[in-house]
Structure formats: C-alpha cells, structure tokens
C-alpha cells in the first residue's frame, strides 16, 4: 500500500471515541494520555490496546525571520526573494509552531470485542478523572497515522485559544519586527550566558533559528569578547 492509500485508509477507519476535555496549553507543556484500540486483522473478538502519551511542547511564535530560513533549494537568492514576497503579500504575525513527542507505553491484547473494551477504558478514565485522556479506534496496521491525525486535529482546535491568550498578554506586540514573546526569551538567555559562557553556542543557534541574529549581533559579540 502506498503512502497516499495508507493515509486514506487510516482517515476512513479512525474514530475519536473520547476526546480530551482540555486543549493544548498556551504557556506550558501538554501531556496527552491516549488509548488506541484496534481489532487485529488475524483474529476475531480481540482488541489490541496501545497506551501512551503525546508530549506537546509550549507553542512557539514564528517570526518572519524564522520563515525566511526555511526556504531551502529555492536558489541562491531565496532569502531576498522571500523577504520581498513577505512584504508584498503581508505576513500573518499570529503563526505558532507546535512540536510533539510520542512516548509509547504498554501494548496488550484482550479477548473481548472492541465495544466492551471501549466501555472499560471509558470507565477507567472517569475513575482517574484525567482531563487529557483520549480514546481512538483505529486500524491495527496504521495506528501511527491515526495518532498523528488526532494530535493535528487537537492542535487545530487549540490554536485560536492559544493565539488569543498570547495576544491578551501583549506577546505578539512587535519591536523591530520581533515579538515580545521572543524578545523576552532571548533576553533571558543573554542573562544566562552572562553567568555561564558554556551556553554561548545555544544563544547563537537560537538567534539564528529565529532569524534575528543581525538585530542582536553587536550585543552577542560583545558578550563573546567578554572574559
């Protein structure tokens, strides 16, 4: 089965039985506890259960400079051309980047049909009062795709709230094109490096990744020359 067919198959056969009560956190890490229920293709009246967690990092505001650094393979003048295009068509300042890490837990099989197992897992979540637990029914051979679909859907439903909460704290306010959210992060890292020179490379990499090294280069090199 090719990738497109595999994805289409997963889309058709994935069901979110119980969504989390909460959405992704705006100002911290989110720990989503999932149960993936699948019917093994080589057996009848059995249910495979995969339990794990998706760790969603704190959403990161994307800067125009960051976007300029992601155009690879577009020619020698890609950055300048991207600058012109962003200026011409405008740049939506309220873009967030999300990152996820899947931590697989236990996998086991029960000799019960999937409906009965679903009821049991639902009761378990109710007893534990876990607001970030979710149950999905999915294909046994495409569960990874189903899990990705779920977390992407959760991100989409969380983004508006995340943006609104960041905006309410003035974190999208820009000075020289740099959001307050980013300025605060960089200023904190400068203070850390002032005391711990071993993290100077981390600071340089962070400035490069945000595409704002030029704005901070004088301050960076002054710190680099400091003994």
pTM for the whole structure: 0.76
Tokens of 94: 């309220």
Q: What is the pLDDT of residue 61?
A: 77
Q: What is the pLDDT of residue 112?
A: 95
Answer for the pair 47, 117: CB distance below 8 angstroms, yes or no.
Answer: yes
Does one domain contain both 186 and 129? no
Tell me the C-alpha distance between 188 and 182, whole Å. Answer: 10
The alpha carbon of residue 60 and the mean position of all alpha carbons in its chain are separated, in whole angstroms, by 9
**Which residue range forms the structural domain that includes residue 76?**
61-87+173-225
Q: What is the pLDDT of residue 70?
A: 58
Q: What is the pLDDT along the chain (227 residues), one digit of tens a residue?
A: 667 788 888 889 999 999 999 999 999 999 999 999 999 988 888 999 999 999 999 998 776 666 666 566 666 776 676 666 666 655 555 678 889 999 999 999 999 999 999 999 999 999 999 999 999 999 999 899 999 999 999 999 999 999 999 889 888 787 777 778 788 889 999 999 999 988 999 999 989 888 788 889 999 999 888 75
- Residue 23 has a CB neighbour count (10 Å cut-off) of 17
Q: What is the pLDDT of residue 151?
A: 94
Final residue belonging to a domain, choices 168, 192, 209: 168
Same domain membership, residue 136 and residue 66: no
| Inter-CA distances, 173 with 63, 69, 168, 169, 186, Å | 12, 22, 10, 9, 15
Same domain, 164 and 177: no
Backbone phi, psi, residue 136, to 5°: -125, 140
Task: Supply the pLDDT for residue 71.
Answer: 63
Same domain assignment for residues 111 and 26: yes
User: How far is residue 201's CA from residue 209's CA, in Å, rounded to a whole number?
Assistant: 12
Do 68 and 157 sit in the same domain of this protein? Answer: no
Which residues does residue 18 pair with via DSSP β-bridges, in sequence order?
135
Pair (142, 218) in one structural domain: no
Give a yes or no: residue 78 inside a domain.
yes
Domain identity same for 146 and 204: no
- Is 78 exposed, middle or buried, given 0-12, 13-18 or 19+ CB atoms closer than 10 A? middle
* 79 lies in the same domain as 32: no
Residue 12 within a domain:
yes
Q: Is 199 within 8 Å of 193 (Cβ atoms)?
A: yes
Residue 188 covered by a domain: yes
Asked if residue 93 belongs to a domain, the reply is no
Domain membership of residue 151 (yes or no) is yes
Q: Is residue 92 part of a domain?
A: no
Residues 55 and 128 in one domain: yes
Q: What pLDDT is recorded for position 33?
A: 98
Which pLDDT score is estimated for 41?
86
Contact 39, 140 (CB under 8 A): yes
Residue 188 sits in the same domain as residue 137 = no
In a domain, 213, yes or no: yes
66 in the same domain as 8: no
Residue 208 in any domain: the answer is yes
Number of domains comprising the chain: 2
Question: What is the model's pLDDT at position 165?
Answer: 93
CA gap 169, 201 in Å, rounded: 30
Q: Which residues pair with 34 in a beta bridge?
A: 52, 134
Q: Are residues 10 and 74 in the same domain?
A: no
Q: Which two three-digit tokens encode residue 219?
A: 């301050």
Name the H helices within the chain.
Answer: 3-12, 64-68, 78-89, 114-128, 143-168, 180-195, 200-210, 213-225
Cα 206 from Cα 203, distance rounded (Å)? 5
């Amino acid at each position: 089965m090719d990738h497109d067919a595999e994805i289409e198959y997963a889309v058709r056969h994935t069901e979110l039985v119980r969504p989390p009560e909460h959405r992704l956190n705006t100002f911290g890490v989110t720990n989503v506890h999932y149960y993936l229920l699948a019917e093994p293709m080589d057996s009848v009246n059995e249910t495979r259960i995969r339990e794990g967690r998706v760790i969603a990092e704190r959403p990161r505001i994307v800067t125009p400079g960051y976007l300029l650094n992601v155009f690879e393979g577009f020619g020698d003048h890609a950055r300048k051309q991207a600058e012109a295009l962003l200026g011409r068509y405008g740049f939506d300042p309220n873009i967030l980047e999300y990152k996820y890490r899947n931590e697989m837990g236990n996998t086991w099989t029960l000799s019960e049909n999937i409906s009965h197992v679903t009821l049991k897992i639902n009761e378990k979540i109710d007893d534990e009062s876990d607001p970030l637990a979710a149950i999905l029914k999915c294909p046994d051979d495409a569960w990874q795709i189903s899990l990705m679909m779920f977390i992407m859907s959760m991100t989409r439903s969380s983004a508006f709230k995340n943006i609104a909460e960041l905006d309410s704290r003035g974190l999208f306010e820009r000075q020289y094109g740099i959001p307050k959210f980013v300025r605060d992060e960089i200023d904190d890292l400068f203070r850390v490096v002032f005391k711990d020179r071993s993290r100077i490379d981390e600071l340089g990499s962070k400035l490069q990744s945000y595409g704002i090294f030029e704005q901070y280069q004088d301050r960076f090199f002054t710190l680099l020359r400091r003994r």
